[in-house]
Amino acid sequence: MLPRDPSRDELAFLLEGGGSDQDLFAAARDDLHRDIGDVVYMRGLIEISNRCGKNCLYCGLRRDRQGLDRYSMAPEEVFSVLAGGYRLGLRSFLLQSGEMQGIDHLEGVAAVLRWCREELPGTRMVLSLGELPEDGYDMLRASGGERYLLRIEFSSPSLYRRFHPDDALHSHDRRVEALQYLGRSGWQTGTGVLIGIPGQTCGDLADDLLFMRDMDIDMVGMGPYVESPGTPMAGIAGPAPDPETRTVLTLRMTALVRLMTEGVNIAATTALQTLSPDGLERGLMAGANVVMPNLTPAVYRGRYDLYSGKSEVNDSPERIIGELGRRFRSIGRELILEDPGDPPHYRERMMEMERNHG
Ligand code: SF4
């Protein structure tokens, strides 16, 4: 149903709802079944710090936000969460924080990675810490980091400028270069975009799809825009599309990425679940194959306040995993434990790199 090499106009047409969503999602599931299987992999999410040096206009963690109780977890606290998740069968964890260039932060993360390599064999650590200097990525990789998620947010430089302050910290070019560096230095590389922000068109989202395909990424973590009260967004943009419109746009983006790539891991994100109570199932039925239960200790969880109404389940990790397994079985999907769930695309890409350099 999707042309082999879709044009921007063809993608925009489908994103606008010009085709059948049922057919689109079924085609995406067929591709997933062929390339990876009817499985769901888990990444245990640990929000290790809510500090950030940047000031993205839409984000509740932005540097200038007043009144947010900032925290950074000590490595020992992170070890304990990791060990608990490992005992339950998790073999991949995502360490996430705002963007900080300070060496203390990176050394703390490196200590966690080294501990994990020694104590939790067979685990793949995913990092989402924003842009770093190249030697920062190298140091984290040498310490045991294997996957890095750096969302481009907007492939359009003009939209990127609109929603990020015009200061020395924000550069669309530099962000693209960082993604390219991650890809060629051997990281499993992920990116993603923000979907349904006011003023964004289906043409912009079509460009995002083409960008993700052309960057040859291994993982996708994208989600709908969710408002964060108290950020400057209210002053610069009109209202966002209603939550269901943003949800459906995200599902169409998920299906289209699945159809335009081969063997990549695609997450059904917390933001999708925030806008729609069955957002995880809907994301999986549109071609996603990864979920990221939040393992951040309760004492910190509410303070990682990215946007309003963030979906949280205040239950033990054991019960959360059991419940997710039941929910996914009901839609014909098997939750996989004790397997880090490498994307086949990464193996292919590394073999290709070796051939080109060999
Ligand atoms: S989106 Fe990321 S970099 Fe921007 S303010 Fe929020 S946490 Fe910081």
Residue 1 located in a structural domain: no
CB 217 within 8 A of CB 182: no
The predicted structure's pLDDT at residue 5:
87
Is any ligand 1 atom within 6 A of the Cβ of residue 98? yes
Tens digit of each residue's pLDDT (9 = 90 or more) over 29-40: 999 999 999 999
**Structural domain boundaries, residue 228:** 8-357
Is any ligand 1 atom within 6 A of the Cβ of residue 151? no
Residue 201 located in a structural domain: yes
- What is the spatial distance between Cα 112 and Cα 81, in angstroms, rounded to a whole number? 11
Residue 24 located in a structural domain: yes
Q: What angle do CA 145, 43, 262 make, to 5 degrees?
A: 85
The predicted structure's pLDDT at residue 39:
98
Is any ligand 1 atom within 6 A of the Cβ of residue 52? yes
- Cα(201) to ligand 1 centroid in Å equals 23
CATH number at residue 20: 3.20.20.70
Tens digit of each residue's pLDDT (9 = 90 or more) over 24-79: 999 999 999 999 999 999 999 999 999 999 999 999 999 999 989 999 999 999 99
Tens digit of each residue's pLDDT (9 = 90 or more) over 258-301: 999 999 999 999 999 999 999 999 999 999 999 999 999 999 98
Residue 135 located in a structural domain: yes
Residue 3 located in a structural domain: no
Ligand 1 pocket, mutate which of 54, 96, 170, 304 (most atoms under 8 A from CB): 54
CB-based burial of residue 21 (10 Å sphere; 0-12 exposed, 13-18 middle, 19+ buried)?
middle
Count Cα atoms within 13 angstroms, Cβ side, for 136.
20
- What is the spatial distance between Cα 264 and Cα 272, in angstroms, rounded to a whole number? 19
In this predicted structure, the answer to whether residue 85 has a pLDDT above a threshold of 70 is: yes
Alpha carbon nearest to ligand 1 atom 5, residue: 62
Is any ligand 1 atom within 6 A of the Cβ of residue 243? no
Residue 314 located in a structural domain: yes
The predicted structure's pLDDT at residue 350:
95
Is any ligand 1 atom within 6 A of the Cβ of residue 153? no
- Cα(219) to ligand 1 centroid in Å equals 20
- Cα(57) to ligand 1 centroid in Å equals 9
Beta-carbon contacts of 242 under 8 Å, excluding residues fewer than 6 positions away, are none
Tens digit of each residue's pLDDT (9 = 90 or more) over 223-238: 999 998 889 886 776 7
Residue 269 located in a structural domain: yes
- What is the spatial distance between Cα 127 and Cα 145, in angstroms, rounded to a whole number? 7
Instruction: For residue 244, give the nearest of 235, 236, 256, 252 by alpha carbon.
Output: 252
Q: How high does pLDDT run on average in the chain? A: 94
Q: What percent of the chain has pLDDT over 70?
A: 98
CB-based burial of residue 262 (10 Å sphere; 0-12 exposed, 13-18 middle, 19+ buried)?
middle
Ligand 1 pocket, mutate which of 51, 57, 62, 97 (most atoms under 8 A from CB): 62
In this predicted structure, the answer to whether residue 313 has a pLDDT above a threshold of 90 is: no
Residue 50 located in a structural domain: yes
- Cα(62) to ligand 1 centroid in Å equals 6
- Domain count of the fold of the chain: 1
Is any ligand 1 atom within 6 A of the Cβ of residue 61? yes
Tens digit of each residue's pLDDT (9 = 90 or more) over 143-197: 999 999 999 999 999 999 999 987 888 899 999 999 999 999 999 999 999 999 9
Residue 84: alpha-carbon gap to chain centroid:
23
Is any ligand 1 atom within 6 A of the Cβ of residue 141? no
Is any ligand 1 atom within 6 A of the Cβ of residue 29? no
